[in-house]
Amino acid sequence: MSPAAREQFFGVQHAFDHPLTLWTTIGLTVVLAAVPLVIFALARTQLIDAKLRYELFQRYYSWLVMVPLMLVPVLLGAFWTILFICGLSLLCYREYARATGLFREKLISLLVVAGIIGLNFAVLDNWYRLFVALTPLFVALIAAVAVLEDRPKGYIQRVALGVLGLLLFGTCLSHLGYFANDSNYRPVLIFLVLAVEANDVFAYIVGKSLGSRKLLPNTSPKKTLAGALGAVVLTTILVVALGQFLYPQSYLDTHGVSRWTELRYLTTLGIVVSVVGQLGDLVLSSIKRDLGLKDMGGTIPGHGGLLDRFDSLILVAPAAFHYANYFAGIGIDQPAKVFTGG
Amino acid sequence: MDDWRFEPARDVGLTEPQRWRSLRRESGLVSTAIHIVWWAFIRTYLALWHRLRIVGRENLPSRLPFVLVANHASHLDALVLAAPLPWWLRDRIFPIAAGDVFFEVPAIAAFAALAVNALPMWRKNCGPQALRELRKRLADEPCAYILFPEGGRSRDGQIRPFKSGLGMLVAGTDVPVVPCHLQGCFAALRAGSKLPRPMPIELRVGPALCFTNAPNERGGWEEIAAALRKAIEQLKDSGS
């Protein structure tokens, strides 16, 4: 491994090189410290009852675990970030497989897991060609191996479920990990995840406070059109506001990007993140409705399963990645084929 | 050949510790891998340390569902009964184990669930509810149970009276019940001793019994318990 790759993987001393990383870390710490005080204050003034207080605290404890769990690997280095995302992908697949019943098809499940691990290895290696190659190869492999069982009844369902699992939790989600191959990945990843999570919150709050016209009542009866549009506006504002700090002026100058162009890029990115994030949420709602489940699992108290929390991230990852990759390129300034050698 | 059905895992929505203790638990890839490794180890161990001998292996069913019952004198018993079964059935073979011994401490519960694939039976308040759930599972999906109708380990090596709960699982169904007799387990690891001694163990498997015509009520359950006890005692006598 070259010194540059080691620096990228384990260079924890660079954790706070970028002001955005420093300030979001401080901001999140302050927010996590302040939330219990706010809940207590609300309960004291009788604004919320004991039941709601309990629910809020349950959600708060989940965030208290989730935020450091997501933030610390990103701060530690690209290696830990990718490892964390690989683990997250596998756990998400596990929930999906158990909810759909695909887990009973051990051979297909094994191939999907192998595909997810393979894709994440390609990410870790920063070997883009392998990363691109693995998806179609594993799709072919799943379709082929499922034939060998000589059980044509239900073949389409089994293979399609396996392929959808591979695409959503392998291909899509590993794009999030690929961001970690960029030298500036810490603020970019934090920025992206923050925007996606904020988008969820915006849609929830706006949807609760105004609008009665339902978005897709059969899929998700609580979501309103106003909530969806409000989230697009608010998330875009957030993305534009925070995005200003992502790249220093010197970088923009050397790459010939004017302030105006940057503003245009960020506005589009904000709309993409918000729309695709909400679509990801609806994809999971559709899966749950189809299966007749309320939650995908019981992993996170107050949230349901992992997928109930990370659903919006799954589709945003490839969309944001290819948007950024098209205009700026990701991971091209870093050593490629770290393990396999180039 | 079964149609494909979108059927979530029966234990979906449970937290991990709840899953270990659930009668609806279904294995995923990780526990399948652990089962295969664990049972390969147990087979080797029984062959080397206890020189396990199996008489009547041809009586072991090759198709699910079925129930294996035997006399109970040692913690080794369930391991000896499950060891000769083929590895591809591992996920579907459930030794029924005492809840108060194997499922109270979380670490032991995790081991009992993930390695042994045991299902808990709570002896103190073993409600008919749990037995009904087990009966339903046996009817709904291909699976096999290993259980000990004495309801606990014998303290002197003699066969204790059979409880009739077993009858509630199989009365009026065509699930084959295979009577087995275990010889040597008591000497190898009796209740109270910590480490197994290298004593030889013999497993005798008898022909399967079916209780299709037994009524699913107390009279039928007792009839089943008596028939199995007789079969196991015959197996015991056939060797000595």
Question: Residues B71-119: pLDDT tens digits?
Answer: 999 999 999 999 999 888 889 999 999 888 899 999 999 999 999 999 9
- Binned at pLDDT 50, 70 and 90, residue B2 comes out as low
Chain centroid to CA A77: 18
A99–B8 CB contact, under 8 Å: yes
Per-position DSSP letters for A124-144, written without gaps between them? HHT-HHHHHHHHHHHHHHHHH
B29–A110 CB contact, under 8 Å: yes
Per-position DSSP letters for chain B, written without gaps between them? -PPP-----TTTT--HHHHHH-TT----HHHHHHHHHHHHHHHHHHHHHS--EEE-GGGS-SSSSEEEEE---STTHHHHHHTTS-GGGGGGEEEEEEHHHHSSSHHHHHHIIIII--EEE-STT--HHHHHHHHHHHHHS--EEEE-TTSS--SSSSPPPPPTHHHHHHTTS---EEEEEEESHHHHS-TT--S------EEEEPPPB--TTS-SSHHHHHHHHHHHHHHHHHHHHHH-
Tokens at residue A118, please? Answer: 């393979």
Q: Of the candidates A106, A113, A293, which has its C-beta nearest B8's C-beta?
A: A293
Distance from CA of B192 to the nearest CA of A (A): 38
- Binned at pLDDT 50, 70 and 90, residue A33 comes out as very high
Distance from CA of B67 to the nearest CA of A (A): 22
- The answer to whether B208 and B176 are in contact (CB under 8 A) is yes
In 3D space, the residue among B234, B203, B221 whose CA is nearest the CA of residue B78 turns out to be B203
Domain borders along chain A are 3-327
Is any Cβ of chain A less than 8 angstroms from the Cβ of B12?
Answer: yes
A97–B4 CB contact, under 8 Å: no
- Binned at pLDDT 50, 70 and 90, residue A342 comes out as low
Residue B125 has pLDDT above 70, yes or no: no
- Binned at pLDDT 50, 70 and 90, residue A294 comes out as confident
Q: Is A105 or A52 the better-scoring residue by pLDDT?
A: A105
Q: Of the candidates B4, B12, B18, which has its C-beta nearest A154's C-beta?
A: B4
CA distance B195 to A238: 65
A98–B8 CB contact, under 8 Å: yes
Number of other CB atoms surrounding residue B102 within 10 Å: 23
Is any Cβ of chain A less than 8 angstroms from the Cβ of B125?
Answer: no
CA distance A65 to A76: 17
Give me the pLDDT at residue A184, please.
87
Is any Cβ of chain B less than 8 angstroms from the Cβ of A158?
Answer: yes
The domain made up of B16-239 has a fold known as Glycerol-3-phosphate (1)-acyltransferase (3.40.1130)
Interface with chain B: mutation pick from A91, A92, A106, highest number of B CBs within 10 Å: A106
pTM for the whole structure: 0.90
A153–B1 CB contact, under 8 Å: yes
In 3D space, the residue among A70, A63, A174, A168 whose CA is nearest the CA of residue A122 turns out to be A174
Nearest residue of B to residue A299 by CA position?
A: B15
A297–B32 CB contact, under 8 Å: no
Interface with chain A: mutation pick from B1, B3, B4, highest number of A CBs within 10 Å: B4
